[in-house]
């Protein structure tokens, strides 16, 4: 672990495990190191990146004005899958904020990375450790396959417990605003704050997580109801195509040559396996992935969000 801290201190890049997805980390105070992360990812340099902290005590260092709401939420959910967008402190490099007046911060709930943060002593700027626009990695092996050669060290912390990126909440306007749904839901956030959370449609512009072509497998993906999925499948097979299937709860009736993964009907268990399943189906030689649409309930909001983006952005 002191090796990882040394690499960060020297301006290197370390892939870090978190409870959500793996991150591609660099010293958040070192603009050159952060630029290297962007270059490895193939991500445009004006996109802001999350600074990972060891806990709530670090907030005033990164934000010039920490609102009470940030303390309430950080004390309740950190370390955990909640990112807060706050007014930046002037010391935060533009490479981290994308030149914006705000900075995104979170304390990740993974023992290896928390230990690294304490040893390193600074903040770790880390986007998800995938190539830009592709599915986030939820194992160290995913990171090695995607970016292995270009990263100074991959810290293997096992499979990510949650498997979907953190909830992002902006606390810089008149009302708290959800920028990205995640494991921590709207009801839980507004219960802690005692106020309503504004919804994403109005604020999608500045977060690349909200770009249409994000979180996409290479194979085109279609979202279909449980009833429509087998019908579409037969249609594609009749056309001489090679579909694969991402089922929910139970497998539809399928000819044996169709690759099919059945994910659990429980949202948390489904979320933990979604990205690994998309990677696996991407490698299955299919020319289309048919995915069953999840239920329309709050527990499935983040999953529906990622699947709809994958459906819009895949095949690029």
Which residues make up the interface to ligand TXA (CB under 6 A)? Answer: 18, 20-21, 23, 47-50, 83, 85, 97, 100, 102-104, 108, 126-128, 165-166, 168, 179, 206-209
Quick one: which segment of 124-132, 167-175, 195-203, 303-311 binds Mg ion (CB under 5 A)?
124-132
> Are 115 and 1 spatial neighbours (Cβ–Cβ below 8 Å)?
yes
Interface residue with Mg ion, options 20, 128, 138, 166 (CB under 5 A): 128
- Minimum CB separation of residue 179 from Mg ion in Å reads 13
Question: Under 8 Å CB-to-CB from 11, ≥6 apart: which residues?
Answer: 26, 27, 30, 32, 33, 36
63 vs 128, beta carbon nearer Mg ion: 128
Q: Tokens 């005033």 correspond to what residue? A: 60
Q: Could you say which of Mg ion, ligand TXA, none residue 49 binds, taking C-beta under 5 to 8 angstroms by partner kind? A: ligand TXA
CA torsion 61-63-67-71 (nearest 10°) is: -40
- Minimum CB separation of residue 232 from ligand TXA in Å reads 31
Residue of this chain nearest to ligand TXA (CB atom): 209
- Minimum CB separation of residue 211 from ligand TXA in Å reads 8
- Residue 293, interface with Mg ion (CB under 5 A)? no
39 vs 226, beta carbon nearer ligand TXA: 39
- Minimum CB separation of residue 130 from ligand TXA in Å reads 8
- Minimum CB separation of residue 124 from Mg ion in Å reads 15
* List of residues contacting Mg ion (CB under 5 A): 128
């Amino acid at each position: 672990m002191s090796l990882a801290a040394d690499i960060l201190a020297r301006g290197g890049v370390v892939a870090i495990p978190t409870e959500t997805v793996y991150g591609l980390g660099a010293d958040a105070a070192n603009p050159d190191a952060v630029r290297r992360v962007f270059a490895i990812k193939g991500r445009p340099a004006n996109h802001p990146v999350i600074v990972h902290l060891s806990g709530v005590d670090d907030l005033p260092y990164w934000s010039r004005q920490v609102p009470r709401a940030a303390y309430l939420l950080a004390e309740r959910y950190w370390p955990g899958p909640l990112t807060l967008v706050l007014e930046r402190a002037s010391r935060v490099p533009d490479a981290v904020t994308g030149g914006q007046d705000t900075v995104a911060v979170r304390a990740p709930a993974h023992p290896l990375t928390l230990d690294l943060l304490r040893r390193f002593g600074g903040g770790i700027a880390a986007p998800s450790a995938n190539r830009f626009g592709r599915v986030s990695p939820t194992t160290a092996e995913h990171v090695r396959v995607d970016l292995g050669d270009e990263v100074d060290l991959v810290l293997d912390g096992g499979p990510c417990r949650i498997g979907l990126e953190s909830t992002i909440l902006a606390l810089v306007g008149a009302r708290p605003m959800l920028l990205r749904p995640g494991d921590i839901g709207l009801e839980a956030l507004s219960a802690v704050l005692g106020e309503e959370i504004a919804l994403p449609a109005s604020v999608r512009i500045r977060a690349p997580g909200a770009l249409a072509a994000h979180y996409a497998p290479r194979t085109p993906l279609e979202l279909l109801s449980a009833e429509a999925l087998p019908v579409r499948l037969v249609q594609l097979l009749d056309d001489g195509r090679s579909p694969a299937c991402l089922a929910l709860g139970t497998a539809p009736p399928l000819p044996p040559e169709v690759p099919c993964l059945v994910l659990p009907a429980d949202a948390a268990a489904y979320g933990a396996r979604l990205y690994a399943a998309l990677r696996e189906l991407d490698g299955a030689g299919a020319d289309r992935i048919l995915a069953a649409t999840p239920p329309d309930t709050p527990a499935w909001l983040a999953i529906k969000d990622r699947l709809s983006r994958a459906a819009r952005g895949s095949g690029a």
